[in-house]
Structure 1
Amino acid sequence: MNISRRTSILKRRYKPSTYRLKLSRKQTNQGFDNSQMVKSHEAQCLNLVRKGDWEGYVCTLLFPKVPRKSAFAIRAFNTELSRVADSVSGKSLGFMRFHFWKQNLDSIYQSVPPNGPVGGELYRAVQRHGLSKSWLKRMISAREDHLDSGFNNIKQLEDYADNTSTAQLCLLLQCLGIEDVNCDHVASHIGKAHGIVTALRATPYHAVRNRVYIPLEFLIKHSVAQEEILKGGENQKINDVIHDIACQAHVHLQHARRLSKDIPQKAKVAFLNTSCLDWYLRKLEMVDFDVYHPTLQSRNDKLPFSVLYQHFTKKI
């Protein structure tokens, strides 16, 4: 065999190998890019929760590693929804924003990952844990229904809390791989307590924006006009209203703790937010239920320690 013929055979023989090597490198680079994108989405969701829901951020840090990523995705989704009312200039724009998230959910459950860090991370959470679409849809619909309207009675506020706070807790339980009726009951009571406390804590914030989310039945009972809530300041009648509503939250926490003896130990990490609720209710009582008191507007810097203590003692 002459040299020129041998050379041509060698070229033909090694061409496919070279092609396979190039393809492998391309696939490796694509995998690297996707990995970098996922890490970026995770970091953005974590940062969004840290800034917009600091208490939720602290509580989620104690989740096991894989469920923690999904838990941050759920909390980031909740944070995005909670910001809609304050981020749009009109009701129609708010509805458009909620419609955007409904479309994202439809894409997620059609196995099409949406663009953006929150949508992308939520897609991966659904793929990992088979999260219930109905709970996610409830979180959107509840906020859409109360975009610019308050509550007539405590039942409406509790229903809203069930569809937002309880829905979030049930999704966190799914991330932990827990399906348990007793856990669902505990989640319902803690979710209602969380929703009620959130409404109380946000009263000064909403008053500045000319919104009132205190149930109307309590205002009527204590002869308090909505204008008085908007005005704020020391007012014993308003304090009485806040006391009655805070008692409802306390009752739900008591029910949850009675039921908690029947739930798996690993489920209790989903309910670490009770530390936040206890802290606020204690502070509120100390200032005679003056919801506008300056001490209630500051962050609980000792929360990480109380959450850590609750986690290791396995309490709710």
Structure 2
Amino acid sequence: MAASVLGSACGPLRLAVAGMGRRRPPRGLWARARRLPGLAGSGRSVAAASGSGAWGTDRYCLELLRKRDYEGYLCSLLLPAESRSSAFALRAFNVELAQVKDSVSEKTIGLMRMEFWKKTVDDIYCDSPPQQPVALELWKAVKRHNLTKRWLMKIIDEREKNLDDKAYRNIQELENYAENTQSSLLYLTLEILGVRDLHADHAASHIGKAQGIVTCLRATPYHGSRRRVFLPMDICMLHGVSQEDFLRKNQDKNVRDVIYDIASQAHLHLKHARSFHKSVPVKAFPAFLQTVALEDYLKKIQQVDFDIFHPSLQQKNTLLPLSLYIQSWRKRY
């Protein structure tokens, strides 16, 4: 069933792999990674967003996700049928929040939008959601799965704090942001799957942190084009690299060393998450399918010797749907 859904959404899978050019010899596999201590609200009405028909609000969420979070869209397609619409709603909620920072010209407007979503979540738990597609679908998900309000509020609060255009002071600050956004999203996904397990939560914490770090890396070229750099300052200072080096797309060894150290931390989080593999309920595995895309990016950036601006890193992996399906079939993460 999952295969047919994924196939219909993504079209025929093309198995030919093109562009296998010369690769730089990769560095040793993350040898320098440090040890870890311990374990935009649209304002449209439902009618305007979705047209007529009872299916409109869930279709709106699906399309929003397909356009703005394609990897999350693919992963959600492979969830059990009874969990799929709730996962779409949850991820659409995350997309709405993620869009706020780049869609407003003034922080005050961004804060107003965050306040809208805080009130929306409060209203959802009072059974009076606003007539907004994502809000209505999220309300259904909350009712269906008894989702924990605290995780939703954490995502909003952390993204609100992140409205300032400031680089992370250190890697721990980036990890904290990832924990409160990406990991919280995974805790809620586990609840949608009916999983409430300590080992699954530990895995989700590390995968969320890896996701946050990789997202920061992947967005660096885009942010640089807008004269912004958010990479952790402590690692940049360690290697004598300034923000201007990234704005100029400098690719000296010390710049690559910064990317190597940050990417190594994401790799280490994935390794920690997989160390719980035997203790995590199989029912939780679909929530962690995004590790496929994370692993793919980390391998690619290693192959280009941590050149964060290499064009190949911006190309969509046409085999990702197939890789996700295989991982789902194997029941691994």
TM-score in terms of structure 1 length:
0.87
Q: Over the residues paired in the alignment, what is the CA RMSD in angstroms?
A: 1.0
* Matched position secondary structure for 1:161: helix
Q: Distance in 1 between matches of 2:81 and 2:129?
A: 22
Structure 1 residue 76: Cα displacement: 0.2
Counterparts of 2:112 and 2:252, CA distance in 1: 39
Task: State the AA in 2 paired with 1:125.
Answer: A
- What's the CA shift for 1:73? 0.3
Aligned partner of 1:99 in structure 2 is 115
Q: CA deviation at 1:300?
A: 1.1
Q: Aligned residues: percent identity?
A: 50
Shift of 1:235: 2.6
| Alignment counterpart, residue 161 of structure 1, candidates 175, 178, 184 | 178
Q: Distance in 2 between matches of 1:180 and 1:128?
A: 19
Contact 1:233 1:292 in 2 (8 A): no
Cα offset for 1:38? Answer: 4.2
1:72 aligns to 2:88 (yes or no): yes
Higher Rg: 1
Q: Distance between the aligned counterparts of 1:256 and 1:38, measured in 2?
A: 40
The answer as to 2:200 corresponding to 1:170 is no
Structure 1 spans left out of the alignment, 5+ residues: 1-35
Name which of 191, 200, 203 aligns with 2:220: 203
Q: Select the structure with the greater relative contact order (CA < 8 A; seq sep ≥ 6).
A: 2
Q: Distance in 2 between matches of 1:201 and 1:176?
A: 29
Tell me which of 63, 75, 80 is aligned to 1:47. Answer: 63
The separation in 1 between residues aligned to 2:181 and 2:53, in whole angstroms, is 29
- For this pair of structures, how many residues does the alignment match? 281
What is the CA-CA distance between 1:230 and the residue it aligns to?
1.8
The equivalent residue for 2:136 is 120
Matches of 2:86 and 2:136 in 1, distance apart? Answer: 11
Does the aligned pair in 2 maintain the 1:182–1:263 contact within 8 Å? Answer: yes
SS state at 1:260 partner? coil
Task: Provide the C-alpha distance between the structure 1 equivalents of 2:319 and 2:328, rounded to a whole number of angstroms.
Answer: 14
1:151 aligned onto 2:177: no
| CA deviation vs aligned residue, 1:164-198 (integer Å, no higher than 9, x gap) | 11011010000011100000000001001110000
Q: Deviations over 1:190-232 (max 9, x none)?
A: 0011100000000011111222110000110000111111221
2:298 paired with 1:281: yes
Match of 2:254 in 1: 237
Q: Give the match's secondary structure for 1:111.
A: coil
Q: Distance in 1 between matches of 2:227 and 2:153?
A: 28
Q: CA deviation at 1:233?
A: 4.1
Partner Cα distance (1:152, 1:37) in 2: 48
Give the gaps of 5 or more residues in structure 2: 1-51
User: Structure 1: which 4+ aligned runs deviate by more than 6 Å?
Assistant: none
Query: Which residue does 1:138 correspond to in 2?
Result: 154
Q: Deviations over 1:130-178 (max 9, x none)?
A: 1111100111111111112221011110000001110110100000111
Partner of 1:225 in structure 2?
242
1:53 partner amino acid: D
1:251 aligns with 2:251: no
Indicate the residue corresponding to 1:15 in structure 2: none
**Distance (Å, rounded) in 1 between the aligned partners of 2:233 and 2:250:** 19
How far residue 260 of structure 1 moved from its aligned partner, in angstroms, is 1.5
Equivalent position of 1:111 in the other structure = 127
Contact 1:246 1:281 in 2 (8 A): yes
* Matched position secondary structure for 2:275: helix
2:230 counterpart (207, 213, 220): 213
Q: Distance in 2 between matches of 1:234 and 1:192?
A: 26
Q: Which residue identity is paired with 2:178?
A: A
Q: CA deviation at 1:298?
A: 1.0
* Kept in 2: contact 1:114–1:123 (CA 8 A): no
